[in-house]
Structure 1
Amino acid sequence: MVNELLATKRSTYEKLLNPNIKGKEKLEKVYRAQKAELQKELRRLKDTGWSNLSEEIQASYERKYIKNVYGVLRQAVGPQSSTYVPLKSKDGNEVIKDPPGIMSRWREHFVELFHNPSLVNMDVINNIPQRVIMQHMDDAPSIEEVKLSIRKLRSNKAPGLDGIPAEILKASRDHISSEIHSLLCQV
């Protein structure tokens, strides 16, 4: 069926290539219709093929033929190509093509990349100006600060990690603020 559609489309196209043909607009419409029909048939065949393949996979899975499931999946995906991309040696003069040599070169590259000694000068780090330590930040917040924080929560936002929406916290601010305060004091 597809070969016949393809042959008719091809012959119509060859007629269209003739510059002296009469009724070119009509022939172009015929060509577009033939092209659409061919694409429709190809899509139908492709869908049928995928449907048959999925039914075969499903049937194998239901019968617990797992080996066949993976075999059909491999058939659908196609063969796995295990080609190795050649690499240049460290000095760039030689091309490495064998798999063990390629792995060795990658190992050498990553060892060089990640296992370098630190080049940090400790004198520079020690000369960085230090900020004043704010001891009052270590103190637990007061109940008033907890209430103020709850009141400042923005409504209609997604809840945080605890899953509690801000609206619930705001509605029970007076009752829940002491519980939150005691929880914060424990931390």
Structure 2
Amino acid sequence: MTWRIALTNNRYATLISAYAPTLDADPECKELFNASLHTAMNKTAPTDKLILLCDFNARVGPDGVLWKDVLGQHGVGKLNAKGLRLLTFCSEYRLVIIQLKNKFKTSWQHPRSKHWHLLDYIIVCQADRKEERVTRAMRGADCWTDHRLIRAKLILELRPPLRKTPPCRWLNCDALKSTHSVNLLREQIALQLSKIPETPTDVNISATWSTLRTAIHQAVVESIGYTRRRHQDWFDNSAPDIHNLLQVKHKALAAHLSNLQSSSLKASYNDIRAETQRTLRAMENEWWVKKASEIQHHADTNNSYALYDAIKSIYGPQRKNIAPVRSADGTILYKDKQQILDRWAEHFNTLLKTSYPIRMDTLADLPCLPPVIDLDTPPPLRRGTESHRLPEKQQEPRP
């Protein structure tokens, strides 16, 4: 049985209830059950919260080391064939069996040996393992069955789905510095243009330009190709030396684990591990110092192209994501670049080209402007600022 429950933000949770045939059932019945279970799993949307409630009559055993991401450390009993199939099924679909506490982990008692076993499971995706809070067998539930009821409490974290944008690929224009690449590009352009008829059947200018653009782009891709990401790292540049150091350390660790009582092997392993760590730190510091000197040299010589190329080789180019916008009524979400541009144009046309009515009565109610000042008439002097002109000095006549 499959039940798809609607959650918030267009998210769903799918519950699958499965009851497997017993061990003495026909092989055809078992294969039919497995096929129907795989069909139900494949029909489940990858964005749904998946919860599998099952009675597989399987014993998964306590091997939590081999089935680390599936079983954990709380297995019980011995592994049987159906348990191995269940563990393989969970590993294939990246599921995890929710573990029970030691006191509440078993769900079925064998009628003859009176031993308790774990046959009923609650299985979720490995990515949702942290959402499980309490899982236990309800020992006090009386429901006329030899199985105990298994209950689990989950706190669902509804994360928005990730948007997968196609990567931006750039043409390798640096290859055109080679004469061989230029000649190859000319040959490819001539070959692609020869496939286009001289007298096109369609006189549409847009269709003709699209055909020409596709031919030229195909010629460039086949001749020079796209650029590859040249992300550099100190570990990759010194990989052979680092591999040798780690190999020596692994050998010392294997010798120490083979004889844990030997103090000399333990001391040798500790010395080799410390020396390896010091060597790796020195190699990393030396690589960063060389890169910093190279970038500083490009900056001092005003070589901006080499400067930014060296920075991008270390940190990598930045990806530009397109921010989606909604329509005017808010019902449609535009993700295409051209639709986003058209929506912004519509928004600014509505905002800037809207005509507002003018009410003359509102203008009449505005306060009057101050009186006009005549610039030819000097302003009156303020009190206390009167200027007194001194009498001119009389000059005596010359003899």
Fold match (TM-score > 0.5): no
Structure showing greater relative contact order (alpha-carbon pairs closer than 8 Å, 6 or more residues apart): 1
Normalised to the residue count of structure 1, the TM-score between the two structures is 0.41
Higher helix share: 1
